[in-house]
Structure 1
């Protein structure tokens, strides 16, 4: 994350709504406290940097008002305007808690510090309704939370440089369970965060062999030569949805499930597997539904978690996979 972006976010977060205001001098102190301005520069140079950031924020958001007749300048969100990034009350608290539970704990220490800086203003907000919901709202993750694997954070910078400069990456990679490294030369295309692990999305040099590498299993990486025919466009989200079943992506398929009414009907009534879901038949004990889902590992895990309540009728290959998993699981306890 660049310092330019961090300065921009921190300034925007610290601009209060009318009738309160913040001065350019106060903004300078805030940026200095986060080491986002060079403290060795003289006051004039520091203020030039601050003013550039303020002007950029004001040009992006019409609601930002600068009173240049005051010395130092006073900056605020205009009367009647909502703050661009500080929604009030429960929505703000909800967002902050999700970020803290689902994002911060996934990140390595350096990244965690940077993201914490971006939400620090929201946590310090003294609005009465926000204070209320900080005490009365709790975000409870649905899944058991594993710890994040450690890795060399400089790998992210190298990958970013490779994507921007369209250069190959030379790397050593140790596959899961292996005792030896394998050497790869790849064109980096993107990064995915799945669970608490980061993955490099790449294509092997001089091929159309797309691969996904767990970054915490990369033991060495360096920049290589310029890619001769680089990818001009690549959507990480679209690629994962269409080609990576391990990340809850994969091809769409129709499933037919039989669900226990008493203990499991809430799974498909209160929430749905997808928007394309319909009831095939229903009696006093069971309800059978048809739904369109992605044939993914995420869906497989959901079926396993609810195997005592949900039976797969179709397709047969998913039913066979669940039966095999349950047989293997039962064997561990016999």
Structure 2
């Protein structure tokens, strides 16, 4: 590929990465994203390229802080490159599913692409695939709560810090004590869970990983403290330890329970764990038998309680007692 062609493709890639106002992307973020796409270019060259392209495209530059942040004018409409039917269909279905999972700020950043995909499909009459979204829907498992609102600057700065590996000074509202605390955070990952998004980070000079709900961050700025990396950290490994299941301890437990046939049917198709055993037929009292190795966490207990009297826990004894105690408290509250 000639140098001129390489520059052209880099320009096209850069234009695709720039969001519409009021959302911005810092030049450092653009540099990292371009490198992921195979374009290695200095930060000064990116800034110079953007200045050149602003003479031909409605680009806006926020110079109030460094690194500079760039966006397209809010009214600018373009698709680079043009959509195809399969891509447009994927975007429409993704919007339906992600709207209840991702923070609104992230959905807003994709809104232009979602809108373009819908218009593309609406404009096609002779392509049966274009009408696929009328017959296929994606819904989350269980009750989906309305996602909490996250400040635009919080989302932008956190994602940029995670990508470019720098520390953050934040003021954070504690949920348990409803008090404000100041921390220096060293970002390690982001997890979207149900209607909330969490920053995984170490705090100040400590090495243990903690979770911070993004909507509880009251103020956030890049820190002058050096970033404390953890090269071995893996988000998947962290989640697999049960960190988001409200663990009671690090050990798994052997769940033994009587379950109604309708629950047994569900678990025969979608097992509770990799280690599970079910009886095929109900006993004389209409119960099937379940044994499964599960995490010792509150999340699993809440899942069991959601079935009410259709699941009767036999072991662990501590789970059985906890579930019965909560049932008595509910009945006592009604009395």
Residues 185 and 203, structure 2, Cα contact 8 Å, conserved in 1: yes
Distance apart, 1:300 and its partner CA: 2.1
Q: Does 1:253 align with 2:267?
A: no
Within-5 A mapping of 1:169-318: 169-176=168-175, 178-227=177-226, 229-246=228-245, 252-261=252-261, 263-279=262-278, 282-284=282-284, 285-318=286-319
SS at match of 1:148: coil
In 2: Cα distance, 1:41 partner to 1:203 partner: 43
Distance apart, 1:180 and its partner CA: 2.3
Change (3 A) 1:39 1:248: farther
Change (3 A) 1:241 1:328: farther
Change (3 A) 1:196 1:247: farther
In 1: Cα distance, 2:323 partner to 2:52 partner: 58
In 1: Cα distance, 2:82 partner to 2:198 partner: 41
In 1: Cα distance, 2:273 partner to 2:51 partner: 48
In 2: Cα distance, 1:327 partner to 1:266 partner: 29
Q: After alignment, is 240-249 or 151-160 more displaced?
A: 240-249
From 109, 116, 122, give the equivalent of 1:114: 109
In 1: Cα distance, 2:245 partner to 2:235 partner: 14
TM-score, with structure 1 as normaliser: 0.66
- Unmatched segments (≥5 aa) in structure 1: 11-35, 44-74, 78-82
Residues 97 and 139, structure 2, Cα contact 8 Å, conserved in 1: no
Change (3 A) 1:218 1:290: same
In the TM superposition, what whole-angstrom CA distance separates every residue of 1:280-312 from its partner, at most 9, and x where no partner exists?
Answer: 685241111112233344322211110210111
In 2: Cα distance, 1:8 partner to 1:213 partner: 27
Change (3 A) 1:167 1:228: closer
In 2: Cα distance, 1:119 partner to 1:240 partner: 30
Give the structure 1 partner of residue 95 of structure 2.
Answer: 100
Residues 242 and 295, structure 2, Cα contact 8 Å, conserved in 1: no
Change (3 A) 1:217 1:242: same
Change (3 A) 1:290 1:109: closer
TM-score, with structure 2 as normaliser: 0.65
In 2: Cα distance, 1:165 partner to 1:135 partner: 41
Change (3 A) 1:217 1:136: same
Q: After alignment, is 117-126 or 300-309 more displaced?
A: 117-126
SS at match of 1:308: helix
Aligned length: 264
Change (3 A) 1:129 1:248: farther
Change (3 A) 1:122 1:225: same
Give the structure 2 partner of residue 322 of structure 1.
Answer: 323
In 1: Cα distance, 2:14 partner to 2:98 partner: 19
Change (3 A) 1:6 1:264: farther
In 2: Cα distance, 1:194 partner to 1:303 partner: 19
Cα RMSD, aligned residues only: 3.7
Distance apart, 1:119 and its partner CA: 4.4
Residues 170 and 183, structure 1, Cα contact 8 Å, conserved in 2: yes
In 2: Cα distance, 1:247 partner to 1:4 partner: 42
Distance apart, 1:8 and its partner CA: 6.8
Within-5 A mapping of 1:68-83: none
